[in-house]
Amino acid sequence: MYRYVGNISDLSHDIIKNYVLNKDVAIDATLGNGYDADFLSKNFSKVYAFDIQEEPCICYREKNVENVEVINDSHHLFDKYVNSNVDCIMYNLGFLPGGDKNITTEHTTSLESIRIGLELLNSGGIMTICIYRGHNEGKIEETCILKYLKNLPKNKYGVMVQSYLNRQEISPMLVIVEKK
Ligand code: SAM
């Protein structure tokens, strides 16, 4: 087991825990099995969690986590549900582990959501994006998302990528965006 070079989801949690300036409001843009929502609920006062699939939404609501509002809708519609700025936004793209692999995040809505999310992000806030490149749509997401983030003004956003150098090229990657 590696202490640092392990799982990119755990790494995203550590980065958020240590570097987000204020831990008031967070968004889990892809609820899925709820591991990120659980993490955010323990570290932020209020969490909005989105998923287009009804099942993960029902499962998470049944847990009755007081500070997590579950929204059964797409993350490109943040504006419709989130009426404040936020301090953190997490994306774990791709399909639901253990679920239907044909239902996956898509580059058009992922990109639109990231664009809107960066507007919602407070100064000192962080967005993390786990990209899974082992399936076709994931490869397209990687290309589009990196192209978009590469062109963000560096006086306003710091953007960093963490990937495994000695694993397969399709291994997952973590993108971190910090707003100045
Ligand atoms: N964060 C999750 C966790 O901690 O278990 C894992 C997320 S899983 C890799 C991706 C999830 O994104 C799936 O449950 C899928 O239904 C959801 N999803 C796909 N497209 C979406 C969209 N446009 N908006 C919100 N969620 C979406």
The 10s digit of each residue's pLDDT in 126-147 is: 999 999 999 999 999 999 999 9
CATH number of the domain encompassing residue 121: 3.40.50.150
Q: Residue for token digits 């202490």?
A: 3
Range of the domain at 153: 8-179
Q: Look at the chain and report how many structural domains it folds into.
A: 1
In a domain, 3, yes or no: no
In a domain, 76, yes or no: yes
Q: Is 36 in the pocket of ligand 1 (CB under 6 A)?
A: yes
Percent of the chain with pLDDT over 70: 100
Of the candidates 16, 11, 14, which has an alpha carbon nearest to the alpha carbon of residue 124?
16
Task: Give the C-alpha separation, 4 to 96, whole Å.
Answer: 25
Please, which residues bridge with residue 46 across strands? Answer: 25
**The overall pTM is greater than 0.75:** yes
Task: Give the C-alpha separation, 71 to 43, whole Å.
Answer: 19
The 10s digit of each residue's pLDDT in 34-57 is: 999 999 999 999 999 999 999 999
Nearest CA to ligand 1 atom 22: 74
Nearest CA to ligand 1 atom 25: 51
Q: Is 96 in the pocket of ligand 1 (CB under 6 A)?
A: yes
Separation of CA 180 and ligand 1 centre (Å)? 27
Instruction: Say which amino acid occupies 115.
Output: R
Q: Is 70 in the pocket of ligand 1 (CB under 6 A)?
A: no
**What pLDDT shows up at residue 1?**
86
The 10s digit of each residue's pLDDT in 1-18 is: 899 999 999 999 999 999
In a domain, 88, yes or no: yes
Of the candidates 91, 173, 162, 163, which has an alpha carbon nearest to the alpha carbon of residue 139?
173
In a domain, 163, yes or no: yes
Q: Is 30 in the pocket of ligand 1 (CB under 6 A)?
A: yes
Closest-lying ligand 1 atom to the alpha carbon of residue 29? 25
Given a contact cutoff of 8 angstroms between Cβ atoms, the answer to whether 160 and 175 are in contact is yes
Separation of CA 14 and ligand 1 centre (Å)? 20
Task: Label residues 108-145 b or e (16+ Cβ within 10 Å = b).
Answer: eebbbbbebbbebbbeebbbbbbbbbeeebbbebbeeb
The 10s digit of each residue's pLDDT in 73-105 is: 999 999 999 999 999 999 999 999 999 999 999
In a domain, 1, yes or no: no
Task: Give the C-alpha separation, 149 to 176, whole Å.
Answer: 10
In a domain, 2, yes or no: no
In a domain, 21, yes or no: yes
